[in-house]
Structure 1
Amino acid sequence: MPGGRLTNEDRQHIAAWLAEGLGYAEIGRRLGRPASTVMREVTRNGGPDDYGAEQAQEATRHRARRHKQAQTPAPPITDGGHGRDPRAVQDFTESFTDLLVQQGLPRMEARVLACLYITDSGTLTAADLVQRLRVSPASISHAIAFLEQQGMLHRERVPGARRERYVIDDEIWLSSMRAAVQMNEALAAASRRGAEILGGRTPAGARFASSAELLRLVSEAFRQVMEQWEQGVAARSGGQQ
């Protein structure tokens, strides 16, 4: 089907036409596919000289199996159980991960954050994350470095061991907001500097000045929200004593 996945019959045609010396554009025209699709198919399966239909079909099946295994979500961490429905927890974890991705977080970082966020302890080691997410230690390391830089988690040493564990606390979004305020202030300062250098009455300078004012208002609003939140937390804590 044009636009769909290549079939075994398509691959048989590609192999035959390559043997005849046809180029990617002509093969794509005959199949009703973009030349780029044919080029990727041939390149990833041995190139024009070594392309074989059966080998390409089997390699595609193998890649599909590996991709499916990699995308299959791990069962949620029970972390004590509490009578939770495992299927509901898993579905929520997937939807929460997708939401984090929609908010701009890279998918691996979103998966790590969601995995930590659903645990009651809020703490996991790298080995825990590798096991739960079924990814490489390197992927976890890169994701942790990114999340730590964003102020969304921190590291701590496991007592009596050389391992580290990664901790997410109940004020993750407050920490993230503080980081956002710091970034806003840096951008606002740079924008004010740009307005001075370019001249406030020029179009470019006015653009920077306007940006600086907007960023200032955003930072002030964030500070007010954070202060209001902290006052509420303090009041609730005082009421529980």
Structure 2
Amino acid sequence: MSEKQTELKISAGIQKFIDKMGLYYESYGIPRIGGRILGLLLTASEPISAETISKTLQVSRSSVSTNIRLLTTIGLLDITQKPLDRTDYFILSDEAWVNAIRLRIQGFQELSKMVEQGRQAMKSAGQMGNTKLQEMEKWAEMMQNLHQQALDEWKPSE
């Protein structure tokens, strides 16, 4: 027994919010549709199927599937089911914001590694004391520490 998939009726204000979420997350490397999916799920009162997401946001089912896979992989969405229904439904993960901060921390760690590689390459080329790389290294470390503090404040028991 599968629930009939229908388009959700959303107000113009919620649609504007959803579209702005798409633009916001796009600026962080998540496809605009992924951000719109997050916006829709933030405003939803219950789990939503991929088909309903597709119809509501008026985007292809394959694009929704691709973005749902990305969002679940990075820990922002969870998959759930309803009794006697084999359809997958999606909800915002209870750990979404923790996972978002962890993702940022990982990004700054990767940036620090790249800066170190750049410094080593410059050193082996006989170029020393590049203040721009040193500044970037300090910035990445500071951002990593600030995000760790935010994570500790958000979830002090972890």
TM range (shorter): 0.7 to 0.9
Can you list the C-alpha shifts for 1:143-200, whole angstroms capped at 9, x where unaligned?
2123234432133455655432222134423321111111111111221122123229
Distance 1:96 1:188 in 2: 33
1:60-209 to structure 2, matched below 5 A, reads 75-76=9-10, 87=11, 90-103=12-25, 104=27, 105-121=30-46, 123-156=47-80, 161-199=85-123, 202=127, 205-209=130-134
Superposition TM-score, scaled by structure 2 size: 0.74
Superposition TM-score, scaled by structure 1 size: 0.51
Could you say which structure has the larger radius of gyration?
Answer: 1
Distance 1:128 1:171 in 2: 23
Q: Which runs of 5 or more residues in structure 1 are unaligned?
A: 1-72, 77-86, 235-241
**What root-mean-square deviation, in Å, do the aligned CA atoms of Structure 1 and Structure 2 show?**
2.9
2:75–2:93: 8 Å Cα contact kept in structure 1? no
Cross-structure match for 2:153: 228
Q: Which runs of 5 or more residues in structure 2 are unaligned?
A: 1-6
Residue 101 of structure 1 deviates from its aligned partner by 0.4
1:42-61 to structure 2, matched below 5 A, reads none
Distance 2:41 2:87 in 1: 17
Aligned residues: 147
Cross-structure match for 1:32: none
Higher relative contact order (CA 8 A, sep 6+): 2
Percent of residue pairs identical? 18
Greater helix share, 1 or 2? 1
Can you list the C-alpha shifts for 1:185-232, whole angstroms capped at 9, x where unaligned?
11112211221232298378543333222111101101111111223x
